[in-house]
Amino acid sequence: MKILAIESSCDEFAIAIMDDGKLLCNVISSQIDQHKEYGGVVPELAARLHLQNSGWVLREALEQSKINIEDIDMVAYTAKPGLIGSLIIGKVVAETIAMYINKPLVPLDHIEGHIYGAAIDHNFEYPVLAMVVSGGHTQIEIVNSPMDFKIIGATEDDAIGECYDKVARVMGLEYPGGPLIDKLAQTGNPERYKLPLAKNDDSYDFSYSGLKTATINLIHNAEQKGEEINKNDLAASFQKSAIEIIKIKLNRAIEQYRPKTLTVAGGVSANSLMRKTILELGKDHNIKNTIIPEMSYCTDNGAMIAKLCYEKEMFQNKNKIR
């Protein structure tokens, strides 16, 4: 079964082709350089650039996979959530291909896709506990099968990646600031600045606006007083607070749900402290199947959508036969 999958929910237009679960290509056109000068993603520009990029990305994907478009059995695409203009371009391209080759069209969820990014090179044993950390989402999900996702907690305001990017902007760093804060934090002292933990309560929900405001206020207060902020120490202190609360809540969620697989998904899963934290949690709770996705499957890509589509198909076919 050959699946062509399109991901276009934000500022990446990406196409992957997967053959019976084996990835044949994972082509991504990123727009980071074009959005950098505005300090964040401009939705209108993202959609326009998708229009420009979709043609060559498709040609490149077919070329790398060494297959003809007629050989595709199924076309999957990210239907939600995301920027509406960006999503529409992906949907139209997917629909056009599916109509041309007269094959099924499969609309999929971006967050579910991120979770299955971790399953591209590894096997999931269910239930899976997935920590989703991206620019738009922060949520804990229990996955019982590729058809059964349960959100047990989510952010009430800013997502963790959004918080990273907004703090980074005030620190004078380029978009996307998340990876730059991560880099600065490597040589910083995480105990230097005292910052609050985001929503340290009994729920599995998160709230990152308090940490964002506290960090930005700290920078502004120092500026007013003419004091120098140590960027490495601030990055390390911010990162410690941002991820400590995830550790606290996951500790509790693991005790309650006893998952067979622990994983992390979304752009912020590329973060070094996040990866270390998840591995430590897996070790502490003796979860042998603790999966940290490959770096190339952390941020938006088509491979994760292809894998989600493949696993859903396999699951549905298995249950049909029974």
Binding-site residues for Fe cation sit at 110, 114, 300
Residue nearest to ligand KG4 (CB): 267
Least Å distance, CB 196 to Zn ion, is: 26
Nearer to Zn ion, 74 or 115 (CB): 115
Angle between helices 231-257 and 209-225 (to 10 degrees): 160
Q: How far is CA 286 from CA 194, 260, 262, in A?
A: 32, 10, 10
What does 113 bind: Zn ion, ligand KG4, none (CB cut-off 5 to 8 Å by kind)? Answer: none
Distance CA 184, CA 232 (A): 5
φ/ψ of residue 110, rounded to 5: -60, -40
Preceding amide of 293 cis, omega within 30: no
Q: Report the residue from 7, 158, 182, 233 that binds ligand KG4 according to the rule CB under 6 A.
A: 182
**Between 134 and 215, whose beta carbon lies closer to Zn ion?**
134
With binding defined as CB under 5 A, does residue 134 bind Zn ion?
A: yes
If contact means CB under 5 to 8 A according to the sort of partner, which of Zn ion, ligand KG4, none does residue 293 touch? none
Cβ atoms 303, 26 nearer than 8 A: yes
Dist CA 149 CA 259 (whole Å): 13
Annotated binding site: 110, 114, 132-136, 165, 178, 182, 271, 300
Choosing from 86, 261, 271, 277, the residue that interacts with ligand KG4 (CB under 6 A) is: 271
Decide which of ligand KG4, Zn ion, none touches 167; Cβ closer than 5 to 8 Å per partner kind.
none
Q: Is 245 among the residues that bind ligand KG4 (CB under 6 A)? A: no
For residue 196, whether the previous peptide bond is cis, meaning omega lies within 30 degrees of 0, is no
Residue from 24, 57, 79, 268 in contact with ligand KG4 (CB under 6 A): 268
Mark the binding-site residues for substrate, compressed into ranges.
132-136, 165, 178, 182, 271
Q: How far is CA 75 from the centre of its chain?
A: 21
Q: Are 260 and 229 in contact (CB under 8 A)?
A: no
178 binds ligand KG4 (CB under 6 A): yes
Contact pick of 13, 116, 164, 193 for ligand KG4 (by CB under 6 A):
164
Token output for 171: 């620190």
Strand locations in 229-288 (E):
261-265
Interface with Zn ion, residue 112, by CB under 5 A = no
- Between 135 and 146, name the residue whose CB sits nearer to ligand KG4: 135
- Tell me the per-residue interface mask from 286 to 305 with Zn ion, x by CB under 5 A, - otherwise: --------------x-----
Give the start-end residues of each E strand in the chain.
2-7, 12-19, 22-30, 74-80, 105-109, 128-133, 138-145, 148-154, 261-265, 289-291
Give the residue, chosen from 161, 259, 282, 293, that forms a contact with ligand KG4 under the rule CB under 6 A: 161
Which residues contribute to the site for Zn ion (CB under 5 A)?
134, 300
